[in-house]
Amino acid sequence: MDFAAPLDGIEVCAAGDLLSRYAGSGPCTPVRWQQVLDGLAADRQGVIPRQAPAADTTERVTFLLDHDPLGPLLGAVARLLHEGDEAAARDTAHAARSFHAVTTAPPLRHHRRPAPAPGADVRTRFMYRVATEGQHYLPLTAGELRDELGAMVPRQAVVPRPVPEERAAWVVVWETLSAPGVVMTGAWAAVAYPDATGIEWLMQSLKSGVAAMEPGPPDLEWRRP
């Protein structure tokens, strides 16, 4: 398998180039930036961050929405970070599970965590829910997450982060370090840090996620009996 292929179609470009391509010449306005978003969508492409840029030189990452396995995950998490709604959260979790399946050693794909012992602490019970109900990536509202964990709300294994104060906002929580988690964190960084730092973080996260697709040691790979 060509492990460079998952990065095909993912490009870093200046926001001004996108404006020229989809909205013609002129300053960046909300109306003209929406033309960019609409034009990219018509071309089956997505962009991170989705917010209007501060300057023409501000960088954006574009990608092909239909290019598995990264396109669907990037498209969904970009919407989640921008809109915070239920559909985007559920799409993000679904895409993360799909990417998880191709970045996890086959024996671990079939691992089932044992149920918590009676009297287990709140965090243990919640993470069991993430592993089982969420299949490692659980979409839920910020209010439900706070009700479940209180002061133990995760600071890192969640997008958006920090968890929004608005109870109705949706988030996706994951269990442990994983390739989808790394990619989602990179997408968050691209939104949280509007300078080149966030874009560099995202691109490095994508490379790390793709590296996780490479086969591991033969004794960990699935073999027919």
pLDDT averaged over every residue in the chain: 89
Share of the chain above pLDDT 90, in %: 72
* C-alpha to C-alpha distance for 23 and 102, rounded to whole angstroms: 38
What is the per-residue pLDDT across 23-65, written as a single tens digit (0 to 9) for each?
999 889 999 999 999 999 999 999 999 999 989 999 999 999 9
Rounded distance between C-alpha atoms, residue 55 and residue 174, angstroms: 34
Pairwise pLDDT comparison (93 vs 5), residue with the higher score: 93
Asked if 103 and 180 touch (Cβ cutoff 8 Å), the reply is: yes
66-101 pLDDT, tens digit each? 998 899 999 999 999 999 999 999 999 999 999 998
